[in-house]
Amino acid sequence: MDYLPFTRPFIDEETIQGVAEVLRSGWLATGPNVGAFEARLSGYLDGRIVKTFTSATGALEVALEICGIGPGDEVITPAMSFTATPNVIMRVGAKPVFVDVDLETRNIDLDSLEKAITKNTRAIMPVHFAGLAVDCDALYDIAKRHGLRVIEDAAHAIGTEWSGKRIGSFGDIVSFSFHPNKNMTTIEGGALSLSDRNEAAKLDQLRFHGIVKDDEGNQDVLLAGGKYNLSDVAARVGLGQLAHLDSFNEKRRSLAEHYLECWKLKDCVLPRNGEGHSWHMFAPLIPFDRYGVSRQHFIRRMHEKGIGIGIHYPALHLFSLYRSLGYRRGDFPNAERIGLETVTLPLFPMMEKNDIERVVNSISETIGS
């Protein structure tokens, strides 16, 4: 029986041929394909300004810089996400202020968020976990009342909708990831969506050495920028992927709904479905202690059955880096429970419903043995 990983990207033959054409062209770094990819992304997001990056991590860091966030500032973010989210806050010299998350949505608890705002808070960095949108109406209401910037970590949420509008087609600054395990890929890469043209111009400088050019091509350097520009090879992959994104997401929704229909194990917390969900991941919480099985044993047995399992994610505040800021076990109970019980099950567009049934049956067999 074929091994079923928890995710697998699909690259069609037309895209592979397109990449070969880029390689033969001799223009491998940022060029016409990057321009075309950014234009297509802009169209997909209702005309917003879109700038691509070598990673979503770099995009988030530059977004913080655009907002002028630095030493002495605080940025509120969920206590359960990938470590890139708080890392970039620390890299600009600010402090990540963690807030607990909801058990079912895994999204930031907005009531707790508002209580965490202080005189030093400059921004909110929510995460649309697994492709389910945060309540954007409530989020932006809080931000407006307190005069805060919002930098949305939408690494999981390309194609996700809130109230019929795609994430990234509205709001402040929104970051996407195109890593191979995301709903669409550029191999490695990311993008920022924003609306302010002055900030977009500064973004261009920050992502390429701080360089500006006049109409005659003369250069000047205005700030100490980094280097985050996407390659044309990566952009050509992105163009091919974006053409399939809606169908990819529709298939993901169908598969996730089948997980919910077929699920057998009791006492688990299943991820919440919702309108506009793009289902980047399917990650139930399994109470391993209650079943007398360790998660390591479960993952090993599933692997023996030819099924890959991921863990997304451990609670952030328990890592050594964030403990050094004063965070301790018990601070965020939901994030800690998720960190102990979460498993990420196979979910990608090339799967079929019988694959879902295979996974669900294997889970029941493994937990019960």
Q: What is the mean pLDDT of each run of 10 residues along the chain (369 residues)?
A: 93 98 95 98 98 98 98 98 98 98 97 98 98 98 98 98 98 98 98 98 96 93 96 98 98 98 96 97 97 96 98 98 98 98 98 98 88
Q: Is 264 a known active-site residue?
A: no
Selecting among 182, 202, 213, 353, the annotated active-site residue is 182
Determine if the pTM surpasses 0.95: yes
pLDDT attached to residue 369: 55
228-241 per-position pLDDT tens digit = 999 999 999 999 99
- Count CB neighbours of 364 within 10 A: 13
161-162 and 165-166 as β-strands: parallel, antiparallel, unpaired? antiparallel
CATH numbers and ranges of domains, the chain: 13-242 (3.40.640.10), 245-367 (3.90.1150.10)
Q: What is the mean pLDDT of the chain?
A: 97
Interatomic CA distance for residues 290 and 89, integer angstroms = 37
What confidence score (pLDDT) does residue 299 get? Answer: 98
Give the tens place of pLDDT for each residue, 42-93.
Answer: 999 999 999 999 999 999 999 999 999 999 999 999 999 999 999 999 999 9
pLDDT of 108: 98
Q: What pLDDT shows up at residue 338? A: 98
Q: Please confirm whether the linkage preceding 313 is cis (ω < 30° from 0).
A: yes
